[in-house]
Amino acid sequence: MPAFPPLEGYLYKKNSKGEWKKRFCACKPHAFVGYKEKDNEVKENVDYRDIIRVTVGKNEKGKPTIEIEVKNGEKVIFQADRAKDWADGLEMRSDWAAQFAPPPPQSPVINESPRSSPAKTMGGGFSSGSRDQIVAELASMEGMMKKKNSAGVWKDRYATFEKNYFKTFKPKGNKPTTEIKENIDLKDIESVRCITNDTMEIELKQGKVMLFQGSNIQEWARVIQSRTAYVVKEYEAKLQENLLNSVHIEGWLMKKSHNKYQGLQVRMSYYCIYANILPHIVLIVI
């Protein structure tokens, strides 16, 4: 996905009784997700591909709102202070998803709690709340783990994803500081695998290998694999698009150069080729 401006924060969702319920909402890579405030239960999960339109309006108290209409005709209304920003952000993601988005990554199968209630999936009826929550978490997984350093010592890390990067920070308690320890471009990853039940190995294309440990490390490995595959596919598609749209110019040019042996200015012939696939000029001296 392109680097859209991040969107997240507290909104109020209008329920079927006309009541406004507080939600923490965020634009994830594949969907707009609304969480119940108290226990982080996923309540809304709107696939960008299902969005027909997003309309800015006002509620009965004059507060700004956004109305999201999806393909099955369902509409949902949120009160939002930055309604225009939310509407623009959702429409940009919806337009992109309609043309380029692959299907959302498959979620691992887990055991459901008998108390878990179904979460509403906009455009697709109801599905299990735990499954929807995992789909959302695939895009925003973060938390504590350990990383083995060059001296063989396991060091605490706070790990998260940021756009196309897997990042780890030096933690203070269970919270990240601003000190970045690892900053891995996902398209540079060669392989990700779990070598034990609690140890993950990440190998980069230049040969560097890193080891991480954590209680949920197998889920981390699945998320990194799915995100890496997505980023690589997007990167290759972009290269292909650049290739198809590339500018190609070639021909004879004259370059003015100083002749150190004769103290004269001479002109040398070069055959030049320019292409903007990875913009550069190739000079072939004849």
Q: Are 57 and 69 in contact (CB under 8 A)?
A: no
Who wins on pLDDT, 128 or 147?
Answer: 147
Highest mean pLDDT: which range of 14-23, 236-245, 247-256: 14-23
The share of the chain scoring above pLDDT 70, in percent, equals 67
DSSP 49: G
On the question of pLDDT at 201 being above 90, the answer is yes
Residues 215-241 have pLDDT tens digits of 888 888 888 888 888 888 887 877 777
Q: How many CB atoms lie within 10 A of CB 68?
A: 23
Q: What is the pLDDT, as a whole number, of residue 90? A: 93
Q: Are 22 and 15 in contact (CB under 8 A)?
A: no
Long-range CB pairs of 5-12 (<8 Å, 24+ gap) are 5/89, 7/85, 7/86, 7/89, 7/90, 9/82, 10/37, 11/78, 11/79, 11/80, 11/86, 12/78, 12/79, 12/80
Greatest distance between any 2 Cα atoms in the chain: 92
Mean pLDDT in residue range 42-52: 87
What is the SS3 assignment for 186?
helix
Angstrom distance (rounded) from CA 60 to CA 66:
13
Residues 166-179 have pLDDT tens digits of 999 999 888 888 89
Residues 182-195 have pLDDT tens digits of 999 998 999 999 99
Q: What is the pLDDT, as a whole number, of residue 28? A: 85
Find the range with the poorest average confidence among 8-22, 37-51, 57-71, 156-170: 37-51
